[in-house]
Amino acid sequence: MSNVPFRSDQLVEELVQFNQNLSKGVKNLIDAEEISEGVTPREEVYAEDKLKLYRYQPSTGVVQNKIPMLIVYALVNRPYMADIQENRSTIKGLLDGGQDVYLIDWGYPDQADKYLTLDDYINGYIDRCVDVIRERHGVDKINILGICQGGVFSLCYTTLHQDKVKNLVTMVTPVDCKTPDNMLSHWVQQMDIDALVDAMGNLPGEMLNWTFLNLKPFQLMGQKYVSMVDIISDEKNVKNFMRMEKWIFDSPDQAGEAFRQFIKDFYQQNKLVEGGLKIGNREVDLKKLKIPVLNIFAEQDHLVPPASSKILPKLIGSKDYTELSFPGGHIGIYVSGKAQSTVTPAISDWLGKRSK
């Protein structure tokens, strides 16, 4: 072994620097203003139960896509990840690319919502939001962009309602939920989901937080905060850090019945791949999905491994399939500078060619 080339006085210097950065940063933390949930102006156009459908203010001076787009976000975490800050906003990028963007905000389910099923979410809420948008724009079909679990919902919805969807974009969407590198899936295989939902009613957001943070506990609960000290002397960095921090811990509870079916059918029985998936009383056969699909995944995604998404073309019946691989992680695909310059323009470009 070579000798470690640092000395006692060097070590002290490092600690002094760390301490000074921390003291400056703590002031910035105290002075940090309240963090908003999303930055792009929007209006509520429809509400039902705890769901809200928002339309974002279209960008001026760009050629508008006449086919509106609905973003279907996951039930886990909150959708403002896609609009986290002005220069890091997937939604703003889509607006600037000429998309007319709508987004479903699922809200925070409570115990009164525990009997909501996947059928209620997919053939109910999503379908009614799609109808509202079709009606507002006088179009038969709209574009859908599904994010993560919202991508799974979008795949199911589109397969069952192709008469209402022109193009489908899926982002970091788990399709094969039993790839060997899927830690989340590995953890739930011996879990008695019925016992969990029967005992808890809804799945608490805290439990989801615990799960997500413990996929990489040393980085997410340790190193991140040590590294933060390097940047918190800058007010802007503090605000950006706090935005992410707020989002990470902002986990709604999951409606019990929907959670039960989601974990059992997708993560334990892998029915999107193995077949036999039913939403309500309708079978979801991905082979029947014939519309254009753009499938985007992140190469370093620790929540949805790329292999989980990349299987999609083998399962669907569409002949117009495009794949976009992003060199980053599950969150970076929305918030990184690279994503703003590559992912959102690529989506608008792809949709532009198929929305005539």
Partner 1 sequence: MNDKNSWSDQWFKAQQQFVDAWSDMAKSAGNTGNTSHADLWSQGMDLWRQSMGRQQQPDVELAMRKCMDMGKEYFAMAEQISKSLADGKQPIQAIDQWMEQMKQSLQQFGGMPGFDSANVNDFMRQWFDPTRSWQQMVAGMSPMNTSSFNMGEAIDPLGKILSSPGIGYFREPQEKQQKGIQLALDYQQANYKFNQAFLRVAIESIQAFQQRLTKLDAESMPKSLRQLYDLWIEVSEHCYAEFAMSEEYQALYGDMVNRLMILKKHYAEIVDDILRALNLPNTREVDTMQARLQQLRRENIELRREIGEIKAMLKRPSTKPVAPPAPADAAPAEQAPVKKAAAKKATAKKAAPKKKASKPNSTAGA
Indicate which residues carry an active-site annotation: 148
Sheet holding 321-326, edge to edge: 42-48, 51-56, 101-105, 69-72, 142-147, 165-171, 293-298, 321-326
Give residue for tokens 């002290």: 12
* Closer Cβ to partner 1, 230 or 345, answer by number: 230
Positive or negative, the CA dihedral 61, 58, 297, 88 is positive
* Closer Cβ to partner 1, 5 or 41, answer by number: 5
Q: How far is CA 129 from the centre of its chain?
A: 18
* Closer Cβ to partner 1, 19 or 87, answer by number: 19
What is the nearest approach in angstroms of partner 1 to the Cβ of residue 272?
22
Residue type, 217: P
Residue type, 103: L
What is the nearest approach in angstroms of partner 1 to the Cβ of residue 9?
5
What is the nearest approach in angstroms of partner 1 to the Cβ of residue 349?
26
What is the nearest approach in angstroms of partner 1 to the Cβ of residue 275?
25
Q: Enumerate the H helices of 305-336 as residue ranges.
A: 306-310, 312-315, 332-335
Contacts of residue 255, Cβ cutoff 8 Å, sequence gap at least 6:
75, 109, 113, 114, 115, 116, 121, 202
CA dist., res. 61 & res. 152, Å (int): 34
CB 108 within 8 A of CB 253: yes
